[in-house]
A and B are shown apart, each in its own frame.
Chain A
Amino acid sequence: MADTTSQSVTIRGVEKNFGSFKAVTDFNLEVAAGEFVTFLGPSGCGKSTTLKMLSGLLPQDKGEILFGERRIDMLPANQRNVGLVFQNYALFPHMTVAENIAFGLSMRRWSKPRKQQRVAELLSLVRLEGLENRKPEQLSGGQQQRVAVARALAFNPDLVLLDEPLSNLDAKLREQVRLDLRDIQKHARQTTVFVTHDQVEALVMSDRIVLMNAGRIEQIGTPVELYAAPLTEFGARFVGANNLVPATLHGDASDPRAIVDGVDGTLALTSMSEQLNEGAGAPIWLCVRPEHIFLTAYETMPAGGEVRQFNARVVDKVYQGTSVLIDLEVEKLGRVRAERPTMAAAELQAGQQTSIAFSSCHAVPRRR
């Protein structure tokens, strides 16, 4: 595999408006060369719009975009040396797989033997050897997707952009392709920006995630940071499921505590974020992930932190294979969702009274 010319990408102050609708506002990001960054967010948050601006298909209203040291935001798409993988793959139906992959090379006037060699390289990279002369309509969805990736990588672009390329695949295939893509990207050391609304995808594949909402960046961080320490309520709700318990700050910086609304006594806050420098009495959320809600009737709590236990009634139980989702109506807390291994919750029935508990080290406070 030839050395890639992958560049770093800098986006500064980019903005895009459609009439009075602010699609993207004040977008700032530095992507290192060879990094895999995901734009994550719900529909309409501006992630695809930003991707289009990176590709050059949509001109930005304000701001600059640089590949490496070179400013490229005034260049049209065909001068930017960017590889783009569309959600529907957009493989040229009237060309064979080989012609599709070689299209970018033909545009760059590569010689025929050089093109052939490169096409062969890429076909083996995406494990589609032997399919050079097929037409796209003769390929399965997963195969088409790999051809689209090969086509985008063929000419060693400065940046590879993928616009929700996995949404059209069925779940099993999606899992496999996720890992494949990641492997290819690591192998090629290709700077990549990936757009998706599926947070599991983002968590699995990315070096860093850019969480977007309503045209703005909510948070940039590694998957672990985004999952364990979301900065905003939106992030807490969007990335992974979360139980948000209303509480009030109590105590001070040396001994931060919280009072859960409707519950006597205080709870130590063992995980604090720097942002939470409010004074006592400030309203907060305590975010507890479903996998940290324990069924005290059937399992032992892990040690550490202060534990609070509550009575609860099972409302619903959904079997997911290795784990079970349990919706509970908890006294004083309201509706809570727990996720436990199937074995632990085996005997639990809907309507049953039981008790749950969580530890203060799993209660992440966030501003309300």
Chain B
Amino acid sequence: MKPRAGLGAVFSRTALTLYVIVMLIWLLFPIVLVLLASFQGKLEVDFSLAGLNLEAYKAIPPAYWQAFWFTVRAAVSATALAIVIAVPAAWAMVRGRLRGRRVLSNVVLIPDVVPQLIMGIALLTVFIPLHLSNNFAGILLALVALSLSTGLRFSEALLEGLPEEYEQAALSLGASRLKSFLLVTIPLIAPGIAIAALFIFMQNLVTFELLFFVAGPNATPISVRLFSDIVDRGVIPYAVAMAGILVYVAMAFYTLVAVTLGPKYMAGSVMSRKG
């Protein structure tokens, strides 16, 4: 090997390592900043790490916690509803070999494909006369519509991965279609559906732009609450603390999925969400 190539290799290796480190820092810094600031109770980050305290966390007002639990309730309900609607639909599409299957998939995809800004504006106009704006039901409906495409995609994939023979065996043994669905299909796809539910829940928890237009004083998701406070009043320490809490929730979610599935899964499924 020529010595020049050796030097080149060393140079490129250090350059590469530097690049990865820089990228890592870039990817990490917002979260690090937010977490640091949340423990310092100020509006600026002090890298000397002096005076770490939990004051900001303790100062989180009840209104924020209300918004947080409201969001959790809405996200859980929307996820449950989305699953309950998507799984039978996917089952009918896959097992029933429906001819309009692609049409259905594409229609359900619409809320996902249309930019949330546009979707939000459209919903605003319709929800107001229906008294669905500033309303838990309105938020719920919007989230369900958004979650259906993910739910359907997961369910379709799960059902196609499940050999039809199991349900056929159940039928031949005397089970009705409903019984075979409940006793054989559901238990076998349940683990996959649980993972799907987790993903959908997280998506629903952090949806912002869509819900901004249909939210109101009575129905404020936490993302909207944090947003309006920063726009109206600037950065407040306890708001930063709340943001920190959301980071912990995201970390918990990631740990849960990574532990059950392995990190490889994350690249594929998270990839599909526009973020």
Taking Cβ atoms with an 8 Å cutoff, the residues of A that contact B are 55-57, 76-84, 86, 88, 90-94, 103-104, 107-108, 151-152, 155
Contacts and interface: CB of A to CB of B under 8 A. Distances in A.
Contacts of B165: 86, 88, 90
Nearest to B165: A90
Contacts of A91: 169
A90 B174 contact: no
16 contacts: A57-B168, A77-B171, A78-B172, A78-B175, A78-B176, A81-B174, A86-B168, A86-B169, A88-B165, A90-B166, A91-B169, A92-B170, A94-B188, A104-B173, A155-B173, A155-B174
Interface string B47-85: 000000000000000000000000000000000000000
B187 to A, nearest CB: 5
Contacts of B184: 92
A86 B163 CA distance: 12
A90 B163 contact: yes
B171 A76 contact: yes
Contacts of A88: 163, 165
Contacts of A57: 168, 171-172
Contacts of B172: 55-57, 77-78, 80, 82-84, 152
Interface in B124-171: 163, 165-166, 168-171
A320 to B, nearest CB: 35
Contacts of A155: 173-174
Given A77-B168, A84-B169, A108 B174 contact: yes
A88 B187 CA distance: 20
Closest 9 CB pairs of A and B: A107-B174, A90-B165, A104-B173, A84-B172, A90-B169, A77-B171, A94-B187, A78-B171, A103-B173
A107 B179 contact: yes
Contacts of A56: 171-172
A337 B227 CA distance: 86
B175 A107 contact: yes
A81 B170 CA distance: 12
A84 B168 contact: yes
Interface hub of B171, B172, B179 (most chain A Cβ within 10 A): B172
A90 B168 contact: yes
B166 to A, nearest CB: 6
Interface in B161-210: 163, 165-166, 168-177, 179, 184, 187-188
A55 B172 CA distance: 7
Contacts of A90: 163, 165-166, 168-169
Nearest to B169: A90
Interface of B: 163, 165-166, 168-177, 179, 184, 187-188
Given A92-B184, A151-B169, 15 more contacts: A55-B172, A57-B171, A78-B175, A79-B174, A83-B173, A84-B169, A90-B163, A92-B166, A92-B169, A92-B170, A94-B188, A103-B175, A104-B173, A108-B174, A152-B172
A303 B166 CA distance: 58
B174 A104 contact: yes
Nearest to B173: A104
A55 B184 CA distance: 19
Nearest to B177: A78
A214 B169 CA distance: 27
A88 B174 CA distance: 19
Contacts of B169: 84, 86, 90-92, 151
A86 B172 CA distance: 11
B274 to A, nearest CB: 36
Contacts of B188: 92-94
Contacts of A103: 170, 173, 175
Contacts of B163: 88, 90
Contacts of A94: 187-188
Contacts of B173: 78, 83, 103-104, 107, 151, 155
A104 B183 CA distance: 12
Contacts of B179: 107
A155 B175 CA distance: 13
Nearest to B184: A92
Nearest to B187: A94
B177 to A, nearest CB: 8
B191 to A, nearest CB: 10
Contacts of A93: 188
Nearest to A93: B188
A77 B171 CA distance: 6
Contacts of B177: 78
A13 to B, nearest CB: 24
Nearest to B166: A90
A220 B236 CA distance: 88
Nearest to A103: B173
Nearest to B190: A94
A59 to B, nearest CB: 13
A84 B187 CA distance: 22
